[in-house]
């Protein structure tokens, strides 16, 4: 009896393979009024997986603000869309590919990029930029170095081959990620209003076309794979990782770009997680119709594939389209021109059922209501970890292990603060001839042709204090996006989020997820930035140990006048250095809680997360943008990882110019042991380090005063030394050498003489 035809109660092992729980199975049989056969069960398992259904996270994600004047499309389609004005729309989304990248880093990362690209061009938007957030264990371990290097190789290979520039990203290394690396890929695309396509099926009798790669046995149950913890047997799941074909995707992309404004195109969807099953079922469900698919018409790469395998295959580089009856040949010819094979594999039917036939005989039929939305929502218990109640040690009381100078050099030379050029010089960041500011700054800037404005892009994750205060740390991430965009002169338009967490069946992880989403919602609402798309990656766990809560956020902004942009580097000797934002914060004036310095010096996460005043952030960002727009500043850099001292050094190194500043705050009479370190490296919020010509000081002070934002002149650009007077100083060359080698020294052997 063929596998798909067999019925009868599945065993516990079979359910586990499909990542279906017993209650879910019961719910399915109850809703169907019968026992589903194996094929139906497989499809349910795929669509009811966390990755496809968001059954655990959806109840939480509902609280995110997703509407606004500029929002054209919120969460629910392939990607979010915001209006840039002038008939131009921006389509963007971030997505994770964590589990596959842990198993096969090159292909896992590559196919992650491929998948997010398809999500964007499936909307009819031409991808114009990629960004990525990647996290690994400590680089002192060989396996982490290899994984990191291979992920970078994979991202580069796919992005470079397809010709979309990778213009920014975020990289972080910590032992907490050694078993569960994170690879989050973000894609941004542009479309004219009439080019935007929806992913819905409509029109009874309209044919369904499948175009692109042949279907093979790749990644069957990849969606379920993404929804379970990695275990020792993960190595053997290698077949669940697909091999990407960026060349094929480039052809797909160009073909789709030619066809998106075709009036006979009804709906377009890419085949991602759970393959044909999810893409077709979702299209039909959104259109309120049904679909019938004849598996024999699906073009296969391998012989003897069962309907089960065909429907659940996650072979890459495939798209499905619904077109008006009679136009299918025209579409097929258009695809052929690009060397792409396509087949009519089904048609739209009136009953809202997902019907699969094999040589005409029905082998599965599921009501779409059940398949797509019938999963029981999960509300696992959330419980704050015990340490919440306990009195928090004050990080300022710790004895510093180093002098301030030594700490400064170590921070600059640490992979999390140092130069990431080793990574992004492997990415084509210029193709398209529109990259004005590439990787390495606070935000990237892409020129919008024929207009005077520019698109600003950035990616950032929650503050390290997320483990103790996920709510505040996630809110901080939103504030950071705001500041990153403000530094180049841009205003935020929308956020996309990738929530990377451990196993939500553990109450403390579920608590983290709830708190983090609450923090994201609060901050996004307070700052008026809608969350238009996103992705959730749960179960990032190994042998019972989960990753720290890691919400990774991407943001898109608009710089109104490209001529008024700014960078982070000091520009001219003699310019003044100033601090925008509060010179002090926290009960002692400086805050070390959850800082990168704390991680390096003491290896702990302790103390309160930095204070956050969202109203103040909004005022400060507005002030910085206004100052840039009026041409008052020469540089602006967001004070984040590593605090004031690292920010100062980065601006100095970037400009090849030293700087001398006075400390923004006087120490208290009897400062705790780490107070000075808090001054130098604390990650207090709402601060920007800017430089300006002396003649602009008065106008700048006036402008910031009008915006009720603190503006403190601190010092001057020039010389070959970077110093915080009376506290620490570092030679420019020494700082640069440490900073440049931060990542590269781990991956490159020192140059050998005479080889």
Partner 1 sequence: MSVRFGIAVFPGTWSDRDCIHAVGLTGADAVPLWHADRDLKGCDVVILPGGFAYGDYLRAGAIARFAPLMEAVGEHARAGGPVLGICNGFQILCEAGLLPGALLRNSSLQFRCQPTWLRLEAAKGPFLSSCRPGQLLRVPVSHGEGRFYADRECLAQLNGEGRVAFRYSDRAGALTTAANPNGSLENIAGILNPEGNVLGMMPHPERACEELLGSDHGLALFNSAIHHLGGAPG
Q: How many residues bind partner 1 (CB under 8 A)?
A: 30
By CB under 8 A, tell whether 441 contacts partner 1: no
Tell me the CA distances in angstroms from 41 to 259, 265, 373, one per residue in order: 35, 32, 15
Distance of CA 98 to the CA centre of its chain: 11
Both tokens assigned to 376 = 């029981």
Q: Which of 32, 103, 431, 716 binds partner 1 (CB under 8 A)?
A: 431
Minimum distance of partner 1 from residue 178's CB (angstroms): 24
Minimum distance of partner 1 from residue 136's CB (angstroms): 18
Pick between residue 44 and residue 130 the one whose CB is nearest to partner 1: 130
**Within positions 527 to 566, which residues make up the interface with partner 1, using CB under 8 A?**
562
Q: Which of 301, 425, 451, 720 binds partner 1 (CB under 8 A)?
A: 425
CB 673 within 8 A of CB 398: yes
Distance of CA 653 to the CA centre of its chain: 28
Number of neighbouring beta carbons within 10 Å of residue 708? 12
**Antiparallel, parallel or unpaired: β 361-367 and 353-358:** antiparallel
Minimum distance of partner 1 from residue 566's CB (angstroms): 14
Pick between residue 303 and residue 755 the one whose CB is nearest to partner 1: 755
CA atoms within 13 A on the CB side of 134: 33
Beta bridge partners of 691: 577, 635
Cα separation of 523 and 518, whole Å?
9
Q: What is the DSSP string of 106-173?
A: HHHHHHHHHHHHHHHHTTTPEEEEEEEEEEES-TTSHHHHHHHHHHHHHHHHHHHHHT--EEEEEEEE
Q: Let me know the angle formed at the C-alpha of 351 by 57 and 276, rounded to the nearest 5 degrees.
A: 50
Quick check: helix, strand or coil at residue 460?
A: strand
Pick between residue 167 and residue 689 the one whose CB is nearest to partner 1: 167
Q: Which of 375, 427, 539, 570 binds partner 1 (CB under 8 A)?
A: 427
Minimum distance of partner 1 from residue 431's CB (angstroms): 6
Pick between residue 256 and residue 689 the one whose CB is nearest to partner 1: 256
Minimum distance of partner 1 from residue 433's CB (angstroms): 4
Quick check: helix, strand or coil at residue 94?
A: strand
Minimum distance of partner 1 from residue 267's CB (angstroms): 26
Pick between residue 118 and residue 429 the one whose CB is nearest to partner 1: 429
Both tokens assigned to 267 = 């709906």
Q: Which of 65, 80, 207, 432 binds partner 1 (CB under 8 A)?
A: 432
At 167, give phi and psi (nearest 5°). -110, -5
By CB under 8 A, tell whether 496 contacts partner 1: no
Cα separation of 560 and 499, whole Å?
30
Pick between residue 40 and residue 434 the one whose CB is nearest to partner 1: 434
Q: Which of 339, 393, 668, 694 binds partner 1 (CB under 8 A)?
A: 339
Pick between residue 250 and residue 300 the one whose CB is nearest to partner 1: 250
Minimum distance of partner 1 from residue 492's CB (angstroms): 24
Tell me the CA distances in angstroms from 421 to 162, 187, 610, 682, 745, one per residue in order: 21, 21, 29, 25, 12
Site mask, partner 1, residues 214-253, x = CB under 8 A?
A: -------------------------------xxxx-xx--
Q: Which of 35, 202, 365, 436 binds partner 1 (CB under 8 A)?
A: 436
Q: Which of 426, 701, 737, 745 binds partner 1 (CB under 8 A)?
A: 426
CB 457 within 8 A of CB 554: yes
Task: List the alpha helices (DSSP H) in 535-642.
Answer: 596-602, 614-629
Cα separation of 66 and 51, whole Å?
20
Minimum distance of partner 1 from residue 665's CB (angstroms): 39
Pick between residue 248 and residue 680 the one whose CB is nearest to partner 1: 248
At 492, give phi and psi (nearest 5°). -75, 145
Both tokens assigned to 341 = 């094979």
Q: In which element (H, E) is residue 321 found? A: strand 318-323
Q: Is 97 a residue of the active site?
A: yes
Dihedral Cα 449, 451, 452, 455, nearest 10 deg: -60
Pick between residue 203 and residue 438 the one whose CB is nearest to partner 1: 438
Q: Which of 93, 118, 200, 447 binds partner 1 (CB under 8 A)?
A: 447
Q: Is 99 a residue of the active site?
A: no
Beta bridge partners of 182: 135
Compute and round to an integer the Cα radius of gyration of the chain: 26
Minimum distance of partner 1 from residue 43's CB (angstroms): 33
At 748, give phi and psi (nearest 5°). -115, 135
By CB under 8 A, tell whether 260 contacts partner 1: no
Task: List the alpha helices (DSSP H) in 609-712.
Answer: 614-629, 643-655, 675-681, 697-706
Site mask, partner 1, residues 279-318, x = CB under 8 A?
A: ----------------------------------------
**Within positions 125 to 184, which residues make up the interface with partner 1, using CB under 8 A?**
153, 156-157, 160-163
Pick between residue 220 and residue 490 the one whose CB is nearest to partner 1: 490
Q: Let me know the angle formed at the C-alpha of 556 by 531 and 417, rounded to the nearest 5 degrees.
A: 105
Minimum distance of partner 1 from residue 486's CB (angstroms): 21
Exactly one of 51, 285, 707, 746 is catalytic; name it.
51
By CB under 8 A, tell whether 746 contacts partner 1: no
Query: Which residues are tagged catalytic?
Result: 51, 97
Contact footprint for partner 1 (CB under 8 A)? 153, 156-157, 160-163, 245-248, 250-251, 338-339, 424-436, 447, 562
């Amino acid at each position: 009896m063929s596998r798909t035809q067999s019925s009868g109660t599945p065993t516990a092992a079979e359910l586990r393979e499909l990542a279906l729980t017993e209650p879910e199975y019961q719910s399915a049989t109850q809703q169907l009024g019968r026992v589903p056969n194996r094929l139906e069960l497989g499809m349910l398992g795929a669509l009811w997986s966390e990755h496809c259904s968001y059954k655990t996270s959806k109840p939480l994600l509902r609280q995110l603000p997703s509407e606004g004047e500029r929002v054209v499309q919120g969460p629910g389609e392939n990607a979010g869309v915001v209006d840039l004005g002038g008939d131009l729309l921006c389509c963007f989304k971030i997505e994770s590919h964590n589990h596959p990248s842990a198993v096969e880093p090159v292909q896992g990362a590559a196919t992650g990029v491929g998948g997010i690209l398809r999500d964007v061009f499936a909307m009819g938007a031409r991808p114009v930029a990629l960004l990525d957030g990647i996290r690994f264990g400590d680089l002192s371990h060989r396996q982490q170095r290899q994984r990191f290097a291979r992920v970078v190789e994979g991202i580069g290979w796919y992005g470079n081959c397809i010709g979309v520039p990778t213009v920014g990203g975020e990289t972080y290394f910590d032992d907490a990620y050694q078993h569960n690396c994170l690879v989050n890929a973000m894609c941004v695309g542009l479309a004219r209003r009439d080019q935007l396509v929806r992913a819905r099926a409509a029109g009874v009798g309209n044919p369904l076309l499948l175009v692109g790669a042949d279907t093979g046995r790749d990644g069957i149950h990849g969606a379920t794979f993404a929804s379970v913890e990695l275990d020792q047997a993960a190595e053997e799941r290698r077949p669940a990782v697909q091999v990407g074909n960026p060349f094929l995707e480039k052809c797909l992309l160009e073909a789709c770009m030619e066809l998106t404004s075709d009036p006979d195109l009804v709906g377009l969807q890419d085949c991602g997680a759970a393959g044909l099953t999810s893409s077709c079922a979702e299209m039909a469900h959104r259109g309120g119709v049904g679909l019938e698919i004849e598996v024999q018409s699906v073009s296969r790469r391998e012989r003897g594939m069962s309907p089960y395998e065909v429907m659940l295959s996650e072979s890459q580089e495939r798209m499905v389209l619904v077109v008006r009856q009679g136009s299918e040949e025209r579409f097929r010819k258009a695809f052929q021109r690009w060397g792409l094979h396509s087949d009519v594999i089904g048609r739209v039917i009136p009953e809202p059922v997902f019907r699969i036939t094999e040589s005409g005989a029905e082998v599965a039929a599921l009501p779409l209501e059940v398949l797509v939305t019938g999963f029981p929502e999960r509300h696992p218990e959330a419980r704050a970890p015990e340490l919440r109640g306990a009195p928090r040690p004050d990080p300022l009381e710790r004895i510093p292990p180093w002098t301030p100078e030594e700490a400064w050099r170590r921070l600059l030379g640490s992979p999390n603060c140092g130069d990431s050029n080793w990574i992004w010089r492997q990415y084509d960041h210029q193709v398209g001839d529109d990259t004005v500011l590439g990787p390495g700054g606070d935000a990237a800037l892409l020129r919008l042709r024929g207009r005077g404005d520019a698109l600003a892009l950035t990616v950032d994750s929650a503050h390290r204090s997320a483990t103790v205060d996920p709510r505040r740390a996630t809110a901080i991430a939103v504030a950071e996006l705001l500041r990153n965009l403000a530094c180049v002169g841009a205003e935020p338009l929308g956020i996309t989020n990738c929530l990377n967490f451990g196993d939500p069946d553990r109450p403390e992880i579920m608590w983290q997820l709830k708190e983090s989403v609450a923090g994201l919602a609060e901050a996004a609402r307070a700052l008026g930035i809608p969350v238009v798309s996103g992705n959730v990656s749960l179960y990032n766990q190994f042998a019972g140990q989960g990753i720290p809560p890691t919400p990774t956020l991407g943001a898109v902004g608009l710089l109104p006048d490209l001529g008024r942009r700014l960078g982070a580097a000091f520009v001219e000797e003699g310019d003044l250095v100033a601090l925008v934002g509060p010179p002090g914060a926290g009960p002692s004036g400086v805050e070390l809680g959850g800082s990168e310095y704390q991680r390096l010096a003491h290896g702990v996460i302790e103390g309160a997360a930095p204070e956050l005043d969202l109203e103040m952030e909004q005022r400060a960002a507005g002030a910085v943008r206004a100052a840039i727009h009026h041409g008052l500043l020469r540089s602006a850099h967001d004070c984040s990882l590593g605090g004031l001292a690292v920010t100062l050094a980065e601006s100095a190194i970037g400009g090849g110019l030293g700087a001398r500043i006075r400390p923004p705050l006087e120490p208290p009479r009897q400062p705790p042991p780490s107070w000075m370190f808090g001054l130098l490296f604390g990650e207090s919020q709402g601060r920007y380090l800017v430089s300006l010509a002396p003649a602009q000081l008065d106008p700048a002070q006036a402008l910031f005063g009008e915006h009720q934002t603190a503006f403190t002149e601190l010092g001057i650009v020039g010389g070959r030394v970077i110093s915080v007077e009376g506290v620490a100083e570092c030679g420019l060359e020494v700082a640069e050498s440490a900073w440049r080698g931060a990542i590269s020294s781990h991956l490159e052997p020192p140059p050998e003489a005479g080889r």
